[in-house]
A and B are shown apart, each in its own frame.
Chain A
């Protein structure tokens, strides 16, 4: 509302404003200054608002629109697809792929996050001790983060190849029979989780490590004077004080992991069958994966994914508010 009022009088000389201002009850100098401040604020805000509208709101609106219409290839090009309400959603929800895809998404997300977080925290505590070469080692741990996903995913799929992969070769050396990592319905999901955990560890490490830096050293000194063991120090000091950082790490990790697509697509294409397909890969499969695109159902799956992320986002806010209270 305030935005619209400021907009109506952008550049006004004081004289004019005095004349016209009577009606507006705006002739008091401090108020005018506040109006100019608002205008400045608005100027700073405008690029961001324009950016958000062009790159987030409009695509979101288009995606919602796609999912509520009955698109065929013809009506997609002509732009005259009839409104079909929740048809796409009910079609998607009744699809035999939905159950497995939802289950796979949840397993993929939660197992990945749990392992990433645990490994990231362990490494962060480890590196917090500042031993010789710790900075170098820590930098090395960032490599998975720096590699383009297509490189790391392709490398993982070579390593896990059931015929000539180095992992099976290593297993062979210790006398374990080969595992069909990517080609067995029992292992495919586990394989992509392993690769995703490897990629996600650096992110957790970096954020948790910076969180550890903010815990004052005196606390540990006091604790050790009181005779607290290393384990007790971790449980009573590190972990509780790291809670806000942990919460944001987990939430961001959750959103990143829910939408993981490229890694799974490169490694298994969601297969074999649909044993490693998640909502993200299924959405792509529907919209772009066959010769005849199904944009409507594909967009519907995408929207369901957004909703899930939103739910967790709100959950995070709630938890944080309760912590502050």
Chain B
């Protein structure tokens, strides 16, 4: 008897200490009042870096005031927001308005927790088709893009001049690799990017993947292998550092900002930091394999209105969304976020105000949504094997072909 009790106790201790890591059921903070009379609306976004005193924080608060309510804004980490939203929806306390990263929209739609923009009466006609594509499922859109960003190559003018490389000469992969070799023989480092084992790694790989003519439904094609071989060649020859495998886009930027690297693949959102980097920089679009600009993936968030039990709340939510995304207010919102606006008219205004945005506006116009083209929730099941393959090939664990073969098998097996 005594022994059994002790056994039980030890089992409890062992199980208890582990349970804390495995328990998945979570509690969202019950914040949305369903009384209908409450004048507080909950608002989630993936911008924890902006506090209430920032331009973005003030804009959100203003939009609440003009809709006659008080907004309770919470900023979550991007990677966390999708799961937080699912858990909140399961508990029945989803926020009234939520900004989510564009590839997450299709997952949330699959979960059935987002309203169609048509049902809410939101006007999305002015938005560029390729930008809203990521949030369009079966012909219906489920959110309004707040803005877009994408990837290009930043370069360090000082290093390129010293190595006698003309940025205008970079037209295709061969000329880019040649430029990297010149830089290396001049004693500087070539290029840095992020090949980390998360969605960020896939995001950074896609311009090269698509630039080779790769197709996400056929990861094992020779074209995909060409893109992965390019990256592997750079790492193997020391044109790119080995730590790209651990680089997030932020740490990759920090490497570029040291001033030792000629090129850095990074996004629109680093523009403000580029001004502070302390060396002259320029931006070129990412070249395709045989010339031209490679299609780049669209980044940026969608403003969505999650399903509520109390449908009377939608009216005010709609006002808040319109306030943030109408043509008149997009300029202010996107300036606050350093994003490219999703409508041609506002883009023109942005370029007028800041000519340095021009290459980014062009890049956004040529960009593709990751979940566009009917991929939807299939994209995550392709993206994960893809970044695993990139990691396996760059670390030397597998050849690019073998890594991509394994990735295609894994992507084909998982049922969306």
Please tell me if the beta carbons of A272 and B18 are within 8 angstroms of each other in the complex: no
Judging by beta carbons under 8 Å apart, are A183 and B14 in contact?
no
Q: Which of B6, B245, B384, B388 contacts A182 (CB 8 A)?
A: B245
Check if B24 is an interface residue, CB within 8 A of chain A: yes
Say whether A292 contacts B397, CB under 8 Å.
no
Contact A62 B25 (CB under 8 A): yes
B353 within 8 A of A: no
Contact A78 B107, beta carbon cutoff 8 Å: no
Of B23, B86, B242, B395, which contacts A163 at CB under 8 A?
B242
Q: Which of B7, B83, B108, B196 makes the CB contact (< 8 A) with A288? A: B83
Question: Are the CB atoms of A272 and B113 closer together than 8 Å?
Answer: no
How many whole Å from A108's CB to the nearest CB in chain B? Answer: 15
Q: How far is the CB of A56 from chain B (nearest CB, A)?
A: 5
CB atoms of B112 and A77 under 8 A apart: yes
Contacts of B398 in A (CB 8 A): 273
Report Cα–Cα, A185/B397, bound state, in Å: 6
- CB of A295 within 8 Å of the partner chain: yes
Nearest A residue to B377 by beta-carbon distance? A292
- Can you offer 9 A-B residue contacts whose CB atoms are under 8 A? A52-B12, A59-B22, A66-B25, A180-B395, A259-B17, A271-B245, A273-B392, A290-B380, A306-B22
The answer to whether B241 touches A302 (Cβ under 8 A) is no
- Min CB distance A94 to B, Å, is 10
- Most chain B Cβ neighbours within 10 Å, of A59, A60, A77: A77
Which 4 A/B pairs are nearest by Cβ-Cβ distance? Answer: A302-B22, A59-B23, A313-B14, A272-B395
Cβ < 8 Å to A, chain B residues 50-78: none
Identify which of B21, B197, B383 contacts A269 (C-beta below 8 A): B197
Assess whether B199 is in contact with A291, with CB atoms less than 8 Å apart.
yes
A56 in contact with B242 (CB, 8 Å): no
Complex Cα spacing A52 to B245, Å? 42
Decide: A79 and B90 in contact? CB cutoff 8 A. yes
Query: Is B111 part of the contact surface with A, judged by Cβ < 8 Å?
Result: yes
From B17, B197, B395, B416, contact of A185 by CB (8 A): B395
Most buried by B among A79, A261, A272, A302: A272
- How many of chain A's residues have a CB under 8 angstroms from any CB in B? 63
* Residue A105 is within 8 A (CB to CB) of chain B in the complex: no
Question: A255: CB under 8 A from chain B?
Answer: yes
Once bound together, how far apart are the Cα atoms of A295 and B86, in whole Å? 11
Q: Which residues of B contact A283 (CB under 8 A)?
A: 22
Whether a CB of chain A sits under 8 angstroms from the CB of B16 is yes
Interface residues of B in 174-230 (CB under 8 A from A): 196-199
- The answer to the question of A202 belonging to the interface, with a C-beta cut-off of 8 Å to chain B, is no
In the assembled complex, how far is the CB of residue B235 from the closest CB belonging to chain A, in whole angstroms?
Answer: 9
A275 at the interface (CB under 8 A from B): yes
A residues whose Cβ falls under 8 Å from a Cβ of B: 52, 56, 58-60, 62-63, 66, 72-74, 76-79, 96, 157, 161-164, 180, 182-185, 255-256, 258-259, 261, 268-275, 280, 283, 287-293, 295, 298-299, 302-303, 305-306, 309-310, 312-314, 316-317, 321
B131 within 8 A of A: no
Question: Is B367 on the interface with A (CB-CB < 8 A)?
Answer: no
| CB–CB A74/B19 < 8 A | no
Residues of A within 8 A of B243 (CB): 161-164, 182-183
Tell me if B3 counts as interface (CB < 8 A to partner A). yes
Q: Which residues of A contact B197 (CB under 8 A)?
A: 269-273
Q: Which residues of B contact A157 (CB under 8 A)?
A: 246
Contacts of A302 in B (CB 8 A): 21-22, 24
What is the CA–CA distance of A161 and B381 in the complex, to the nearest angstrom?
30
Task: Chain A residues near B6: list those with CB within 8 A.
Answer: 317
Cβ-based interface call for B292 (8 A): no
* B20 → chain A closest CB, angstroms: 8
Is the beta-carbon distance between A73 and B111 smaller than 8 angstroms? yes
Contact partner of B388 (CB less than 8 A), chosen from A185, A274, A288, is A274
Asked whether, in the complex, the Cβ of A292 is within 8 Å of the Cβ of B381, the reply is: yes
Q: Which residues of A contact B391 (CB under 8 A)?
A: 271-273
Q: How far is the CB of A80 from chain B (nearest CB, A)?
A: 11
CB 8 Å contact bits of B306-342 with A (1 = contact, 0 = none): 0000000000000000000000000000000000000
* Contact indicator B246/A289 (Cβ below 8 Å): no
* Neighbouring A residues of B108 by C-beta, 8 Å: 73
- Known contacts A77-B111, A291-B383, A292-B377; decide if A275 and B15 are in contact (CB<8 Å): no
* Residues in B whose Cβ lies below 8 Å from that of A52: 12, 16
Shortest B241–chain A CB gap in Å is: 5
* B352 at the binding interface (Cβ < 8 Å): no
Q: Which of B10, B86, B246, B380 contacts A316 (CB 8 A)?
A: B10
| Contact of A74 with B112 in the complex, beta carbons under 8 Å | yes
Q: A63-B24, A183-B246, A291-B380 are in contact. Are A77 and B395 (CB under 8 A)?
A: no
Q: Which residues of B contact A74 (CB under 8 A)?
A: 110-112
A259 to chain B, nearest CB (A): 5
Q: How far is A282 from B220 in the complex, measured between Cα atoms in Å? A: 24
Q: Which chain B positions have C-beta within 8 A of A259? A: 17-18, 21
